[in-house]
Amino acid sequence: MPVTRTQVGIVGAGPAGLMLGHLLHLRGIDSVIVENRSREHVIDRVRAGVLEQGTVDLMTAAGVAQRLHREGMRHGGIGIAFGGNRHRIALAELTAGRAITIYGQNEVVKDLIDARLETGRPVYFEVDRVGVHDLTTAQPKLRFHHGGDAHEVTCDVVAGCDGFHGICRTAIPATHLRVYERDYPFGWLGVLASAPPTSDELVYSLHDRGFALFSMRSPSITRLYLQCAPDENAEDWSDDRIWAELTARLSTSDGWAPAVGPILQKGVTGMRSFVAEPMRYGRLFLAGDAAHIVPPTGAKGLNLAMADVYRLAEAIAEHSTSVREDALDAYSDRGLRRTWRAQRFSWWMTSMLHRSESDNAFDRRRQLAELDYLVGSRAAMTSLAENYVGVPFD
């Protein structure tokens, strides 16, 4: 079995693992990335698409934002619709110019894979039997099979960037991990449609029939979501049924409605809040979905992953030059603070905008009162805006 050495062994080539590899590369730090899916699968996976200001700034500083600046759609506001009316929350005006940029997560991943390949540093796709070992020693190990051959990589640090279903978190003994979670009694049916966006900005809507979200990917592609049952089969939703429901839930009294067009792709995702504490075990550090999941309503998943790897890259760089452990020691606590802030925000957005079977008539009126207060109060809108655009990375 070939035994090689690297400074950082990275499990997972999603946005977290790839961005970490790139930030380390910029610091002259070597890494090996292993990914169990194919490169095509990782690039084609349709996911969320809202980048916080901090994510855009990080990608720009890291030199991987050329296409993002060309094709990304910068939005200075979002719409909130309820009771048949649409209201605007002026994100940029309320946050001294911070904004969000719409750019699909799969485009981010594509750009980061291109950047990785350009560096010539290793990234192995379609690996299997990935394992992490000797985590509480100074020489943790990554083992995997690639093309039928067994590999072992000795590392200084292992980064668990392998998403919620990965192996890194589960390699931590249960006695060292505390888990907090909440499942929601609904899911999102997400569709990608060949239809020009009829609004320049996203619209989040609460309707008697449930939540709906209007988003986009380009001047000719709309991205839309509908609240549905968590175990619903997307194939039970015909194009006609999808458009009838979207039109009913999104149309507002000012005459606005989404444009109808051919549906290119559809799928159902469940919604959960999840936090694993701490984000470290010995020399294993968890980042992104491996450590925490947020419901998509606040658009925080990808951005939390980016904030994690920014912090982790800084901490590893400090450790590699000074052998100081302070930043590595602070990694988890600092990350959990940001994570819990995003958890609160995502839970709040989710509960404000979804219909729940267990809600009674009082809950529904309270929900409408919350929305009414939100769009009528500059203080309330500012609170939403500063969380939505994201606090600067630290």
Q: How far apart are CA 101 and CA 83, in angstroms?
A: 28
Indicate whether 279 belongs to the interface with ligand APR (CB under 6 A).
no
Which string of x and - marks every residue 298-337 that binds ligand PHB (by CB under 6 A)?
-x--------------------------------------
Least Å distance, CB 46 to ligand APR, is 11
Identify which range of 29-37, 60-68, 241-249, 346-354 contacts ligand APR by CB under 6 A: 29-37
Indicate whether 210 belongs to the interface with ligand PHB (CB under 6 A).
no
Whole-Å CA distances, 3 to 120, 127, 137, 151: 19, 16, 17, 6
Residues 48, 206, 375, 385: which binds ligand PHB (CB under 6 A)?
A: 48
Run of H or E residues at 16:
helix 15-26
Nearest to ligand PHB of 215, 227 (CB atom) = 215
| Residue 49 contact among ligand APR, ligand PHB, none, beta carbon within 5 to 8 Å by kind | ligand PHB
Which string of x and - marks every residue 137-176 that binds ligand APR (by CB under 6 A)?
------------------------xxx-xxx---------
- Taking CB positions, which residue lies at the least distance from ligand PHB? 215
Least Å distance, CB 151 to ligand PHB, is 36
Whole-Å CA distances, 183 to 250, 270, 295, 347: 25, 8, 9, 11
Indicate whether 223 belongs to the interface with ligand PHB (CB under 6 A).
yes
Contact present, 29 and 364 (Cβ < 8 Å): no
Least Å distance, CB 110 to ligand APR, is 13
DSSP 189-214: EEEEEES--SSSS-EEEEETTEEEEE
Among 73, 77, 64, 62, residue whose Cα is nearest residue 103: 73
As separate numbers, helices (DSSP H) first and strands (DSSP E) second, the chain gives: 11, 21
For residue 62, the 8-state DSSP code is T
Run of H or E residues at 351:
helix 326-353
* Token pair recorded at residue 146: 């690639």
Nearest to ligand PHB of 9, 49 (CB atom) = 49
Indicate whether 295 belongs to the interface with ligand APR (CB under 6 A).
no
Least Å distance, CB 345 to ligand APR, is 15
Buried-exposed string 266-289: b where 16+ CB fall within 10 A, e elsewhere: bebbbbebbbbbbbbbebbbbbbb
Run of H or E residues at 317:
helix 301-322
| Residue 263 contact among ligand APR, ligand PHB, none, beta carbon within 5 to 8 Å by kind | none
The order of strands in the sheet holding 178-194 is 85-89, 78-82, 203-207, 210-218, 221-228, 178-194, 263-277, 292-293
Residues 8, 10, 11, 158: which binds ligand APR (CB under 6 A)?
A: 11
Residues 189, 226, 289, 349: which binds ligand APR (CB under 6 A)?
A: 289
Identify which range of 162-170, 293-301, 337-345, 360-368 contacts ligand PHB by CB under 6 A: 293-301
Residues 49, 76, 79, 288: which binds ligand PHB (CB under 6 A)?
A: 49
Identify which range of 44-52, 54-62, 67-75, 160-168 contacts ligand PHB by CB under 6 A: 44-52
Among 305, 330, 336, 333, residue whose Cα is nearest residue 318: 330
Distant-in-sequence, close-in-space partners of 9: CB < 8 Å, separation ≥ 6: 31, 32, 34, 132, 140, 141, 142, 153, 155, 157, 158, 159
Whole-Å CA distances, 393 to 5, 63, 172, 315, 338: 31, 17, 27, 14, 9
| Residue 167 contact among ligand PHB, ligand APR, none, beta carbon within 5 to 8 Å by kind | ligand APR
| Residue 29 contact among ligand PHB, ligand APR, none, beta carbon within 5 to 8 Å by kind | none
Question: Contact residues for ligand APR (CB under 6 A)?
Answer: 11-17, 34-37, 42, 47-48, 105, 130, 161-163, 165-167, 288-289, 301-302, 305
Question: Contact residues for ligand PHB (CB under 6 A)?
Answer: 48-50, 202, 213, 215, 223, 296-297, 299
